[in-house]
Amino acid sequence: MMRLLSLLAALLVSGQAAAEDVTVRVTTPAGEPVAHAVVSLPGALPASPADVVHEMAQEDLRFDPFVLVVPQGAEVVFPNRDRVRHHVYSFARDNAFELELYGREQERSVVFDAQGNVPIGCNIHDNMIAYIRVVDTPHAVVTNADGVAVLEGVAAGPVTVWHPYANAENNRLVLDAPADGSTLDVTLDVHGRR
């Protein structure tokens, strides 16, 4: 029943979508929705970064969100909402950083200047893992729990679907954009999940 409803909802959404909106639904070969996949289409970044706050929080000894996508040059704040300290770092070649965040420390941020994937971890809590994907396009959205991402107002171009655990070259697939108004269904094999 719920399935039917969400299917109906998806149909309604795609039916109403303007020509330049693209809806992508990502599922595993078994038909399970794939959340945390980054769906992007090409586009030119504005000269100055948009006034958006990007956040990679730490709460209950987890990163939130698990996957964050930001445009090149974006500033990401790392609020620590736990009462224990975190030592957040990445070894990503062009975006390496390290932040020692004391309990409840909310203000620290990092600017990500280079395109690419930034796996992040915590030196104190080995189980804390998350990914920041830095892209050179303003058109990038992370799939929700239903595996769906809607990109509004995009120009034509190939659709890239990336997931940190995708069994694919460079963890991504590159596909043709769907016909106007239709939903692009993507099958992505992912190992492990969160």
- Candidates 25, 54, 125, 163; binder of other proteins (CB under 8 A) is 125
With binding defined as CB under 8 A, does residue 85 bind other proteins?
Answer: yes
- Candidates 83, 93, 145, 191; binder of other proteins (CB under 8 A) is 83
CA dist 113 and 72 (Å) reads 5
Residue with smaller CB distance to other proteins, 105 or 136: 105
With binding defined as CB under 8 A, does residue 62 bind other proteins?
Answer: no
Taking the CA atoms of the chain, what radius of gyration do you get in angstroms? 17
Task: Determine contact, residues 137/42, Cβ cutoff 8 Å.
Answer: yes
Helix (H) and strand (E) counts in the chain = 1, 17
- Candidates 103, 174, 180, 193; binder of other proteins (CB under 8 A) is 103
Nearest to 76 by CA among 62, 90, 55, 48: 55
| DSSP strand pairing (38-41 vs 139-142) | antiparallel
Stretch that binds other proteins, among 8-16, 62-70, 98-106, 182-190 (CB under 8 A): 98-106
CB atoms within 10 A of CB 158: 12
Structure tokens at 140: 């990038």
Which amino acid belongs to residue 119?
A: P
Stretch that binds other proteins, among 20-28, 102-110, 135-143, 176-184 (CB under 8 A): 102-110
Binding-site string for other proteins from residue 3 to residue 42, where x marks contact by CB under 8 A and - marks none: ----------------------------------------
Residue with smaller CB distance to other proteins, 32 or 59: 59
Q: How far is the CB of 60 from other proteins (least distance, A)?
A: 10
Total interface residues for other proteins by CB under 8 A: 14
Q: How far is the CB of 82 from other proteins (least distance, A)?
A: 8
Nearest to 79 by CA among 71, 88, 90, 70: 88
DSSP codes joined into one string, 102-117: -TT----EEEE-S-EE
Interface positions with other proteins (CB under 8 A): 61, 82-85, 87, 100, 102-105, 123-125
